[in-house]
Chain A
Amino acid sequence: MKGRNYLLILLLVAISITALTGCSKSTASGQDIFEKVEEQGYIIMGLDDTFAPMGFRDNDGNLVGFDIDLAREVFKRIGFEVKFQPIDWSMKETELNSGNIDLIWNGYSITEERMKKVNFTEPYLKNRQIIITLADSDINSKADLKDKKVAVQNGSSTLDAIYKEPDIVETFQGGEPVLFDTNHEALMDLEAGRVDAVVSDEVLARYYISQKNPDDYKILDEDFGEEEYGIGVRKSDKELLDLLNSTLDEMRKDGSYEAIYEKWFGESN
């Protein structure tokens, strides 16, 4: 009897939660972003502040990074004050759609799946899915990955990318990649010699390698395709999307984008 009561209550709770979340999409879009910015005085940009080099903190705790510099410049031109809100990356779309943040801008890869939930700007940075090995490795091409242990970040766009070439994945040792929670863990495992290669975002991997001894690593010429970073905004904020696109365009033309790129990635785009 007792157990049955609980089950009933549980069922009711589950139903009401489903019902509530079902109508959640309407709440965030109630207010236009321009009214909101005027009201609160700033726009809120969500980012994962653990993501070097796109957005992270220096020793004094100040937010720095490629995306941060870019965003500061973009919003200076638009005339919005911008407030940076650290979020957990796994909650990013929830944060956006519940209105806690107004845009996601932090090495946010454009994928079809994500496009169902958010609107993306035009890509502002290209990012290859590169293959990294230790410098003395005998792996020189995708074909050489046969019977090797290959590490990838779980749930990442990289994982989607390698499965676009399932024939190659099948040749990996065990027929599938070794999954890690973060790219850093995957790269650390490579360093420890427990995996033979890592497939990762180029931006992140190059940053990682540059912080270590670059001579210890090798980046293969072949890659698993390219993806692009975009800025995510709510579906309803169409005007904001246009404004971001035109401002980024303007910055590309007057060379200010190039300057920020060089500051963070050294080589020219």
Chain B
Amino acid sequence: MFTYTLTLLPSMMKGLLTTLGVFFITLILSIPLGIIVSLGRLSKFKLLSKMVEFYIWVMRGTPLMLQIVFIFFGLPIVGITFDRFTAVIIAFVLNYAAYFGEIFRGGIESIDRGQYEAAKVLGLTPYKTFRRIILPQVFKMVIPSVGNEVITLVKDTSLTYIVGIGELLRAGRIASNRDVSLIPLALVGIIYLFLTAIVTGVFNKVEERYSYYE
């Protein structure tokens, strides 16, 4: 059984690479976009704020899988065509940016107004106020919620199967059907657990780093 598991590893690692690719690219793009989304949502311009609210509503109100299908299969109808991986990344980034945006919005709204006023009387520009005073405090506040979301992202990467991308879970299903065995799926489960353990560990470390103040 151990040697059998070993034979599974190369194809699993290939799938894992794809999974990690989707994971990291989504994370790197959706967090900054999420900050922009939260600012748009909090904007004083009613139209912008309403548009962002609508976007968040659509992204959170429909299944991610449907969004992938729509972007990959639906957009070509109006002449916008992406390759599989790009379509998946666009769907993931748009979806996760909406969730992160709402988390950041909550964080930003919970910062005391006095912090803005203190920055203003000290003469800090709105950009510097946000970048140096507000954002660092928001980050500390949202770490737990962002951590939850990132763990969900690890598992959501499996949704890419709908456009035939060979990620980890698909690699497991191929091996499971081929060898008529549940072991590949168990192995996939263990790899996912490993990934979430790493993510949890990273977030604990980050939380620790931010715990220097209350």
What residues make up the interface of A, taking CB atoms closer than 8 Å to B? 6, 9, 17, 20-21, 23-24, 27, 46, 49-52, 56-61, 85-88, 90-91, 94-95, 98-100, 182, 184, 188, 207-208, 211-212
Q: Do residues A88 and B176 form an inter-chain contact, with CB atoms below 8 A?
A: no
| A17 adjacent to B174 (CB under 8 Å) | no
Q: Can you list 25 A-B contacts with CB-CB less than 8 angstroms, sorted by A residue number? A: A6-B54, A20-B74, A20-B77, A24-B77, A27-B77, A49-B164, A49-B174, A50-B176, A50-B177, A56-B174, A56-B178, A57-B178, A58-B178, A61-B10, A61-B171, A86-B164, A86-B170, A87-B164, A91-B73, A91-B162, A91-B164, A99-B76, A100-B73, A184-B176, A207-B180
**Cβ of B57 < 8 Å from any Cβ of A?**
yes
Q: What CA separation (Å) do A56 and B176 show in the bound complex?
A: 10
Closest B residue to A87 using CB positions = B164
Closest A residue, CB atoms, query B70:
A17
For the complex of A and B, 9 pairs with smallest distance between CB atoms: A211-B180, A86-B164, A87-B164, A52-B178, A50-B173, A61-B11, A52-B177, A88-B162, A50-B174
- A-B contact sample (6 more), CB < 8 A, given A99-B76, A184-B177, A212-B180: A6-B54, A27-B76, A56-B178, A59-B8, A88-B164, A91-B163
Which of A23, A57, A94 is close to B11, meaning CB atoms less than 8 Å apart?
A: A57
Q: Which of A20, A24, A51, A100 contacts B177 (CB 8 A)?
A: A51
Give the CA-CA distance A188 to B183 in the complex, in Å.
13
B: contact size bracket: 20 to 34
B14 at the A/B interface (Cβ < 8 Å)? yes
In whole angstroms, how far apart are the Cα atoms of A131 and B163 in the complex? 33
Point out residues on B near A: beta carbons under 8 Å.
7-8, 10-11, 14, 54, 57, 69, 73-74, 76-78, 161-166, 170-171, 173-182
On chain A, the residues within 8 Å of B165 by CB distance are 86
Bound complex: CA of A132 vs CA of B100, how far in Å? 50
Residue of A nearest to B54 (CB): A9
Q: How many pairs, one residue from A and one from B, have CB atoms within 8 Å of each other in the complex? A: 83
Cβ–Cβ < 8 Å partners of B176 in chain A: 50, 184
Q: Which residues of A contact B77 (CB under 8 A)?
A: 20-21, 23-24, 27, 98
Contact residues of A: prevailing secondary structure: mixed
Q: What's the nearest-Cβ distance from chain A to residue B10, in Å?
A: 6
The residue that B179 contacts in the complex, of A61, A85, A182, A211, with Cβ under 8 A, is A211
With a cutoff of 8 Å between Cβ atoms, the chain B residues found around residue A50 in the complex are: 170, 173-174, 176-177
Q: Given A20-B74, A24-B77, A27-B76: A85 and B164 within 8 A (CB)? A: yes
Judge whether B10 and A59 touch: CB under 8 Å: yes
Question: Which A residues are in CB contact (< 8 Å) with B181?
Answer: 211
Report how far A37 CA is from B197 CA in the complex, Å. Answer: 46
A88 near B177: Cβ-Cβ < 8 Å: no
Residues on A with beta carbons closer than 8 Å to the beta carbon of B166: 49, 86
B10 A88 Cβ-Cβ under 8 A: no
A55 to chain B: closest residue by CB: B174
